[in-house]
Amino acid sequence: MATIHFDDLGHSYHPNPTRPEDYALRRLSQEWEDGKAYALLGPSGCGKSTLLNIISGLLVPSEGRVLFDGVDVTRRTPEERNIAQVFQFPVIYDTMSVYENLAFPLRNRKVPEAEVDRRVREVADALDLTADLKRRAQRLTPDAKQKISMGRGLVRSDVAAILFDEPLTVIDPHTKWLLRRKLRQIHEDYRVSMIYVTHDQVEALTFADRVAVMYEGAIVQLGTPQELFETPQHTFVGYFIGSPGINLMPCAVGADQVTVDGTVIPLASGSTAALPARDGRFELGIRPEFLELTRSGAAGAVPVQVVGVDDLGTSKLATLRLGAHTLKARLGEEQEVPALDAAVRFPPRWTRLYRDSHLVA
Ligand SMILES: Nc1ncnc2c1ncn2[C@@H]1O[C@H](COP(=O)(O)OP(=O)(O)OP(=O)(O)O)[C@@H](O)[C@H]1O
């Protein structure tokens, strides 16, 4: 297992990159801790595979270095880096039994047979493959084949990290949920460094200790699921994490307050003091879960119009108008929705201010 350090890393597929947009991976300096479960989350084309391939050694970055435990591995192959990889589609030998498939990475490295047998049975047990050990892999369902693929990644105890590239794509939704929990459990038991690439926030948030959210070639935030939810450092994180995402409204900034379409909304005391210049594009952000629906006249409340309420079973989602803006507020199942004199409160603790998409207060 290894601490992974990205040292001024960047990658462009262009021969002569000049603009930031020419980079599939923009400049990145960061350290990823040993033994943790990381998810690399972002939409299609944001650079996840580029970064993953640089970590694994399938791609040499055009700029910067990758270090494993302080050793420069930038030009080393995946084998030399001791990385295990699990891809979107099963990579297994159809003619071999499940047992032989799982044993293969170990026998290939001349691990003693007793140790091979111990590890194979342990991993088969963790993935519920014990009953299938003697079966030919060819005869199994796609789900079971992908479990073998994962098992082949997990069977080696000496790896620097195990990389998963959208491993649940071919798995049916129910099994997906089970496998995600299994992987989480296996990580807790083995404490091996894992990096899991996905565009699905539920997969990332339920699997990982730390989630790196990527947008346009940059990691815009690396944090725990709770940090990403409570304090999005970038408007994209607010929008991409959560369902629905954060409410955002353009605003003008004053002392400890902002104005949205002529409506003054207070911020936490002292929050704007560190903003010497007021240039840039400011937006106010608050998650639907933190916006408080109340009645006009309540302290600190600003009037809104209720446009609609969706009953989601365990909660309600209100759609509100504030000036020209639409806001969402998540309400308790039993919460009453005022018909005529609705208002909302922006609790300063949960109200965020962004300048040019980046959190400033
Ligand atoms: N071999 C390549 N040559 C040129 N451009 C590439 C190459 N591979 C990726 N790109 C470009 O680099 C950018 C990042 O792609 P990348 O595959 O890393 O994103 P991704 O987040 O993994 O997307 P997806 O989820 O669709 O796989 C995209 O604009 C893509 O078109």
Q: What ipTM did this prediction achieve?
A: 0.98
Average pLDDT over residues 189-199: 93
Mean pLDDT of 313-321: 95
Minimum-distance ligand 1 atom for the alpha carbon of 49: 22
For CA atoms 338, 343, 348, 350, give the dihedral sign: positive
Distance (Å, whole) CA 196 – CA 252:
40
* Lookup: tokens for 356: 């040019």
Domains and CATH numbers, the chain: 4-239 (3.40.50.300), 246-359 (2.40.50.140)
Any residues with CB less than 8 A from the CB of 100 and at least 6 apart, and which?
Answer: 93
- % of the chain exceeding 70 in pLDDT: 99
Q: What CA–CA distance (Å, rounded) separates 269 from 292?
A: 19
C-alpha span between 275 and 253 (Å, rounded): 9
Non-local CB neighbours of 237 within 8 Å, separated by 6+ positions: 213, 215, 220, 221, 228
Q: Give the Å distance between the CA of 60 and the centre of ligand 1.
A: 14
Residues 328-358 as b or e (16 or more Cβ within 10 Å = b)? bbbbeeeeeeeeeebbbbbebebbbbbbebe
* 145-155 residue pLDDT tens: 999 999 999 99
Q: 196 CA to middle of ligand 1, Å?
A: 17
Compute the distance from residue 45 Cα to the ligand 1 centre, in Å: 5
Residues lining ligand 1, Cβ inside 6 A: 13, 24, 42, 44-50, 199
- Conformational region of residue 231, where left means phi above 0, alpha means psi within -120 to 50, and beta covers everything else: beta
CA 194/CA 166 separation, integer angstroms: 13
Q: Which of 12, 16, 50 to mutate to test the pocket of ligand 1 (most atoms within 8 A of CB)?
A: 50
Mean predicted confidence (pLDDT) in 6-26: 96
Residue 199 alpha carbon, nearest atom of ligand 1? 25
pLDDT on residue 274: 80
pLDDT per residue as tens digits for the range 116-145: 999 999 999 999 999 999 999 998 998 899
User: Residue 177 has what pLDDT?
Assistant: 87
- On the question of a cis peptide bond just before residue 244, with omega within 30 degrees of 0, the verdict is yes
Q: Summarize the chain as % helix, strand, coil (round to 5).
A: 30, 30, 40
pLDDT in tens, 228-255: 999 999 999 999 999 999 999 999 999 8
Which numbered atom of ligand 1 lies nearest the CA of 42?
Answer: 21
Which pLDDT does position 152 carry in this prediction?
A: 94
- Cα–Cα–Cα angle for 121, 122, 123, nearest 5°? 95
Which of 11, 23, 40, 46 best tests ligand 1's pocket when mutated (most atoms within 8 Å of CB)? 46
Structure tokens given for 185? 């459990």
For a pocket test of ligand 1, which of 49, 52, 56, 87 has the largest count of ligand atoms closer than 8 A to its C-beta? 49
Instruction: Please give the distance, rounded to the nearest whole angstrom, from the Cα atom of residue 71 to the centre of ligand 1.
Output: 27
pLDDT at 278 over 80: no
Dist. CA 245 → ligand 1 center (Å): 25
Assess contact for 196 and 208: CB atoms under 8 A.
Answer: yes
Best residue for ligand 1 mutational test, from 11, 26, 48 (most atoms within 8 Å of Cβ): 48
Which amino acid makes up residue 240? F
pLDDT band at 53 (very low <50, low <70, confident <90, very high): very high
